[in-house]
């Protein structure tokens, strides 16, 4: 049900000592081929971690043999030494596998600004290489967790091939092309350029529309690896559909496990002049702390929605905007609508519909409520 569901992949997850206790904190995913085609998308943050800089170079070649992932440290803002540490990680994995370091991607997650304990990490890579198996996907998914309370895995079956995936992320979920760490695998035979197009399209409507706290990570990475082991080249539309379904499933799992969240909120923007306008409006509402607090307090405060919409450059006339919360149109024509007491905000899932009455385009942004638990967890993160 994870990255090892498709043929041609092995994985492992071990405790290398990067995190306290005996928690798994290092994962290794290996593509045994026959194809090594790969694509990746990365954070749009201008401050990028050493593993992102390294893996961008690797993915430029369109081939990935293995991915080393660690939790317990982001290796971000660590200078030239941090980049050397990433290079050493790739070299270690490549040596153990008899492959080229230039085809080993590296992903890290955790506290920013501190170098990784390389003796422990390299020993962990060696341990993981010795435990690689077709059954190792679940342990690998567990090893990349930070504040995640559960592992995130997904799987879809196509016509003669499979797509599997794992992801981590519970905070800093405001992506630009990616969200936190995610590895997707397939045993379909698909060239790198097609993988790239499919992955970018899939992330644009899934991970890119997940915005729980408005904070973009320095380490966001999504990789798509194809082994070709099934010997099937799928129809382009079907393959794109399966990859998008895996991304959407993982994004939903990230949302419901977001730090401190008690509500999963879908902000549906309809009647927009363009898709870009719909995304802009949805993201503005998703990032409104006042709105998120109201949702947590189960208060259907449509004024906070409208005020957030008004901060954007989207095309709309204020007197034509309508807002519904869980199906009750409590704002009509930019003013009070149906009785707000009819809105039931007790369920975990909340849907806010914003009709801009400016066109025919739409988009949905997913977010959460803002809770005291989120504040507490992030005020004490480094300790």
Split at pLDDT 50, 70, 90, the class of 66 is very high
C-alpha distance from residue 176 to each of 40, 204, 212, 221, 246 (Å) = 13, 9, 13, 10, 18
Residues 195 and 273 placed together within one structural domain of the fold: no
Residues 252 and 270 placed together within one structural domain of the fold: no
**378 marked as part of a ligand binding site:** yes
Among residues 224, 257, 290, the one where a domain terminates is: 257
Residue 370: predicted pLDDT: 87
**263 marked as part of a ligand binding site:** no
Residues 367 and 291 placed together within one structural domain of the fold: yes
Residue 173: predicted pLDDT: 47
Among residues 257, 273, 293, the one where a domain terminates is: 257
Residue 179 among the catalytic residues: yes
Whether residue 1 is contained in a domain is answered as no
Residues 242 and 338 placed together within one structural domain of the fold: no
Residues 128 and 251 placed together within one structural domain of the fold: yes
- Contacts of residue 379, Cβ cutoff 8 Å, sequence gap at least 6: none
**146 marked as part of a ligand binding site:** yes
Among residues 257, 272, 291, the one where a domain terminates is: 257
3-state secondary structure 13-32: EECCCCCCCCCCCEEEEEEC
201-258: per-residue pLDDT in tens? 999 999 988 886 666 778 889 999 999 999 999 999 999 999 999 999 998 898 887 7
**367 marked as part of a ligand binding site:** no
Domain count, the chain: 2
- Contacts of residue 84, Cβ cutoff 8 Å, sequence gap at least 6: none
Residues 253 and 275 placed together within one structural domain of the fold: no
Residue 215: predicted pLDDT: 64
Cα torsion angle, 255, 259, 262, 266, sign: negative
CATH of the domain at 321: 3.10.20.340
**168 marked as part of a ligand binding site:** yes
Residues 295 and 368 placed together within one structural domain of the fold: yes
Work out the percent of the chain whose per-residue pLDDT is above 70.
Answer: 95
**Global pTM?**
0.89
Residues 281 and 372 placed together within one structural domain of the fold: yes
Residue 366: which domain range? 264-378
Residues 202 and 280 placed together within one structural domain of the fold: no
Catalytic residue among 78, 179, 212, 244: 179
**86 marked as part of a ligand binding site:** no
6-55: per-residue pLDDT in tens? 999 999 999 999 998 889 999 999 999 999 999 999 988 889 999 999 99
Whether residue 40 is contained in a domain is answered as yes
Residues 180 and 236 placed together within one structural domain of the fold: yes
Split at pLDDT 50, 70, 90, the class of 179 is very low
């Amino acid at each position: 049900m994870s990255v090892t569901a498709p043929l041609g992949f092995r994985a492992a997850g071990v405790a290398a000592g990067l995190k306290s206790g005996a928690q798994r904190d290092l994962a290794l995913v290996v593509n045994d081929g026959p194809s090594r085609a790969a694509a990746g998308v990365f954070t749009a943050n201008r401050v990028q971690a050493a593993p992102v800089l390294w893996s961008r170079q690797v993915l430029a070649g369109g081939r990935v043999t293995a991915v080393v992932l660690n939790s317990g440290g982001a290796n971000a803002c660590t200078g030239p030494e941090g980049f050397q540490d990433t290079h050493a990680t790739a070299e270690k994995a490549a040596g153990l596998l008899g492959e080229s370091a230039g085809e080993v991607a590296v992903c890290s997650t955790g506290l920013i600004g501190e170098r990784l304990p390389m003796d422990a990490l390299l020993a962990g890579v060696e341990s993981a290489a010795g435990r690689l198996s077709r059954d190792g996907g679940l342990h690998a998914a567990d090893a990349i967790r930070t504040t995640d309370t559960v592992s995130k895995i997904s799987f879809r079956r196509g016509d003669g091939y499979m797509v599997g995936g794992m992801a981590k992320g519970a905070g800093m979920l405001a992506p630009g092309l990616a969200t936190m760490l995610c590895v997707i695998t397939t045993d379909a035979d698909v060239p790198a350029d097609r993988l790239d197009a499919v992955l970018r399209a899939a992330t644009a409507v899934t991970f890119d529309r997940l915005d729980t706290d408005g904070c973009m990570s320095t380490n966001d990475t999504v990789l798509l690896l194809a082994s070709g082991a099934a010997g099937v080249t799928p129809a382009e539309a079907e393959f794109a559909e399966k990859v998008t379904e895996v991304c959407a499933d993982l994004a939903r799992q990230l949302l419901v496990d977001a730090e401190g969240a008690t509500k999963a909120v879908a902000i549906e923007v309809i009647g927009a002049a363009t898709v870009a306008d719909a995304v802009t409006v949805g993201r503005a509402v998703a990032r409104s702390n006042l709105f998120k607090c109201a949702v947590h307090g189960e208060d259907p405060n449509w004024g906070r929605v409208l005020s957030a919409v008004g901060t954007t450059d989207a095309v709309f006339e204020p007197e034509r905007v309508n807002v519904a919360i869980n199906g009750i149109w409590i704002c009509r024509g930019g003013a009070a609508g149906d009785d707000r007491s009819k809105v039931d905000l007790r369920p975990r899932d909340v849907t806010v519909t914003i009709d801009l009455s400016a066109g025919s385009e739409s988009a949905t942004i997913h977010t959460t409520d803002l809770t005291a638990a989120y504040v507490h967890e992030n005020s004490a993160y480094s300790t």
